[in-house]
A and B are shown apart, each in its own frame.
Chain A
Amino acid sequence: MNVPDNLLYTESHEWIKREGDKIRVGITDHAQSELTDVVYVELPKMDRQANAKEAIAVVESVKAASDIYAPVKGTVVEVNKALEADPGLINREPFGQGWIFVLKIDKPDDLKNLKDAATYKKQIG
């Protein structure tokens, strides 16, 4: 299972890529392979403020709806509109074109609470 070393991770299977004072967020290869067949993505509203671990998006597979959480406190500044027409991007390119939203974060220090690749790899066994 692909777990890129340059990303951070959450217990709930989001990946986080730091881009200055922003973070780009998606779900991991492991998560998409568990869900399979993503058929719908509910994106967060632009400018929405979210606390860490607050559910702000929904990824729906054939089988079930899964909440996607803000990894840290921040404001939604970008959402991946391409997922509305092609939700399967999450299955095909979970770490690339399948990203879900970008948060402008309040405190970069918050990122210290996230997992590195090695720790996440252990979690998913």
Chain B
Amino acid sequence: MTEAAQKKTPLYDEHVKRGAKMVPFAGWLMPVQYTSIVEEHQAVRKNVGMFDISHMGQLIIDGNEARDWLNTMLTNNIDKLEVGQGQYTFLLNERGGIIDDLIAYRIGDAKFLLVVNASCTDEDFAWLDRHRPSNIRLGDRSAHFGGVAIQGPRVSELFVNLPARNHIVDLELDEMPISMARTGYTGEDGVEVFFSKGDAVKFWNAVLEQGRDLGIKPCGLGARDTLRLEMCYPLNGSDLSPERNPIEAGLGFFVDLTKPNFIGRDVLLKTKENGPREKLVPFKMIDKGPPPRPHYSVFANGERIGEVTSGTSSPSLNWGVGMAYINAPYAKVGAKIDIEIRGQKFPATIEKKPLYKKS
């Protein structure tokens, strides 16, 4: 896709004004960094940082039967949501493979907001629409909305009355109607805020102004990736794909197999029963050397056992970390594996989630 064909979020001009380096991502031109990935990463770990997430998709599902129907489309149990509450969940294909990972919020008695990956918005919509009974309405409001994630331990100094964890509330700030959810992708306390496209610039600048004394920084996709990887949060397209199911990815917690029926359930039951062939595991390099990267091969005792899906030099640990799919018998915490980097093998240890814990 050429640069001209990439979509721009309502905050595009603000990013450019602040000197962000813009890169194509999932069909959008997004800031990868403003000053430095490490600086932005540390701002989120120590103070607070703000990310443009306007590229993410927002689907609305509405109708008396919406709850029961969504429970057949998504892996987690929607019945557990009270109004104003959200949950992390998966949209699977018939083979149990992951189409998308998303957060489903119950925003009314029979009304739901799905916040989905930018690269999957159209596909998710088409998949849901194809399976939708005629009495349930499905809408894509992505084009009319903007969003930001404000993340970091000092976020509670920025807003009074934060919603409870995983809850979403509608409120008004500076005459802007917004929805604020206590969710995020960084492992820090934080909120994700959605607003009408026309309010995006005003909201963005108001938060940066308000947060100045707290050391707030605008942050790019680079820091978003290192922050989520330290927490072992998966990235769809890297760690998740239509060829992988949530059990293999170690995310069975977000699948309710006691539900009588949802797309992909049979395959997941079988995977659970027989055990997955491969598992996604976090790992940490043993020596300070080159950082692991996606697609590097993983070895054990000289035999190729898998492939890295995410890898970087963790800014918090200042050390190489990653996640890899490896043959299940090798997937034991504490076990030693080798990562092949430019023809040379470097030892690593399989770790528990998360790779980074707050001291």
Which positions in A face B, CB cutoff 8 Å? 34, 36-37, 39-40, 42, 58, 60-65
In the complex the two chains form, what is the Cα distance from A37 to B35 in whole Å? Answer: 10
Which positions in B face A, CB cutoff 8 Å? 21, 32-33, 35-38, 222, 226, 289-291, 293, 312-313, 315, 318, 342
Residues in B neighbouring A42, C-beta threshold 8 A = 290, 342
Does the CB pair A62–B315 fall under 8 Å?
Answer: yes
Closest chain B residue to A62, Cβ basis: B37
Q: What are some 23 contacts across the A-B interface (CB < 8 A)? A: A36-B35, A36-B37, A36-B38, A37-B36, A37-B37, A37-B38, A39-B291, A39-B313, A39-B318, A40-B289, A40-B313, A42-B342, A62-B38, A62-B226, A62-B291, A62-B312, A62-B315, A63-B33, A63-B222, A63-B312, A64-B293, A65-B290, A65-B293
In the complex the two chains form, what is the Cα distance from A40 to B318 in whole Å? Answer: 11
In the complex the two chains form, what is the Cα distance from A40 to B291 in whole Å? Answer: 8
Residues in A neighbouring B315, C-beta threshold 8 A = 37, 62
In this complex, the member of A42, A61, A63 whose beta carbon has the largest number of chain B beta carbons within 10 angstroms is A63
Choose from B33, B36, B38, B290 the contact partner of A60 (Cβ within 8 Å): B290
Closest chain A residue to B315, Cβ basis: A62
Residues in A neighbouring B289, C-beta threshold 8 A = 40
List 6 tightest A-B contacts by C-beta distance, closest first.
A39-B313, A37-B38, A36-B36, A62-B37, A40-B290, A37-B36
In the complex the two chains form, what is the Cα distance from A37 to B226 in whole Å? Answer: 13
In this complex, the member of B293, B313, B315, B342 whose beta carbon has the largest number of chain A beta carbons within 10 angstroms is B313
Residues in B neighbouring A61, C-beta threshold 8 A = 37
In the complex the two chains form, what is the Cα distance from A65 to B37 in whole Å? Answer: 15
Nearest Cβ on chain A to B339's Cβ, whole angstroms: 13
In the complex the two chains form, what is the Cα distance from A39 to B313 in whole Å? Answer: 7
In the complex the two chains form, what is the Cα distance from A39 to B36 in whole Å? Answer: 12
Given the known interface contacts A34-B21, A37-B37, A42-B290, the answer about A62 and B313 at a Cβ–Cβ threshold of 8 Å is yes
In the complex the two chains form, what is the Cα distance from A3 to B57 in whole Å? Answer: 43
Given the known interface contacts A40-B313, A63-B222, the answer about A58 and B37 at a Cβ–Cβ threshold of 8 Å is no
Nearest Cβ on chain A to B11's Cβ, whole angstroms: 21
Does the CB pair B313–A60 fall under 8 Å?
Answer: yes
Residues in B neighbouring A36, C-beta threshold 8 A = 33, 35-38
Residues in B neighbouring A39, C-beta threshold 8 A = 291, 313, 318
Nearest Cβ on chain B to A88's Cβ, whole angstroms: 10
Q: Given A37-B315, A60-B313, list of 18 further CB < 8 A pairs?
A: A36-B36, A37-B38, A39-B291, A39-B313, A39-B318, A40-B291, A42-B290, A58-B342, A60-B290, A60-B291, A62-B37, A62-B226, A62-B312, A62-B313, A63-B32, A63-B33, A63-B312, A64-B293
Residues in A neighbouring B293, C-beta threshold 8 A = 64-65
Nearest Cβ on chain A to B344's Cβ, whole angstroms: 9
Residues in B neighbouring A58, C-beta threshold 8 A = 290, 342
In this complex, the member of A34, A37, A62, A65 whose beta carbon has the largest number of chain B beta carbons within 10 angstroms is A62
Nearest Cβ on chain A to B315's Cβ, whole angstroms: 6
In the complex the two chains form, what is the Cα distance from A36 to B20 in whole Å? Answer: 13
Residues in B neighbouring A40, C-beta threshold 8 A = 289-291, 313
In the complex the two chains form, what is the Cα distance from A37 to B37 in whole Å? Answer: 7
Closest chain B residue to A55, Cβ basis: B342
Nearest Cβ on chain A to B345's Cβ, whole angstroms: 15
In the complex the two chains form, what is the Cα distance from A65 to B33 in whole Å? Answer: 17
Closest chain B residue to A38, Cβ basis: B313
Closest chain A residue to B36, Cβ basis: A36
Residues in A neighbouring B291, C-beta threshold 8 A = 39-40, 60, 62
In the complex the two chains form, what is the Cα distance from A65 to B293 in whole Å? Answer: 9
In the complex the two chains form, what is the Cα distance from A65 to B315 in whole Å? Answer: 16
Closest chain A residue to B290, Cβ basis: A40
Nearest Cβ on chain B to A76's Cβ, whole angstroms: 17
Closest chain B residue to A41, Cβ basis: B290
Residues in B neighbouring A64, C-beta threshold 8 A = 293
Given the known interface contacts A39-B291, A40-B290, the answer about A63 and B37 at a Cβ–Cβ threshold of 8 Å is yes
Residues in A neighbouring B342, C-beta threshold 8 A = 42, 58
In this complex, the member of A60, A64, A65 whose beta carbon has the largest number of chain B beta carbons within 10 angstroms is A60
In the complex the two chains form, what is the Cα distance from A58 to B291 in whole Å? Answer: 12
In the complex the two chains form, what is the Cα distance from A34 to B35 in whole Å? Answer: 10
Nearest Cβ on chain A to B157's Cβ, whole angstroms: 28
In the complex the two chains form, what is the Cα distance from A36 to B291 in whole Å? Answer: 15
Residues in B neighbouring A62, C-beta threshold 8 A = 37-38, 222, 226, 291, 312-313, 315
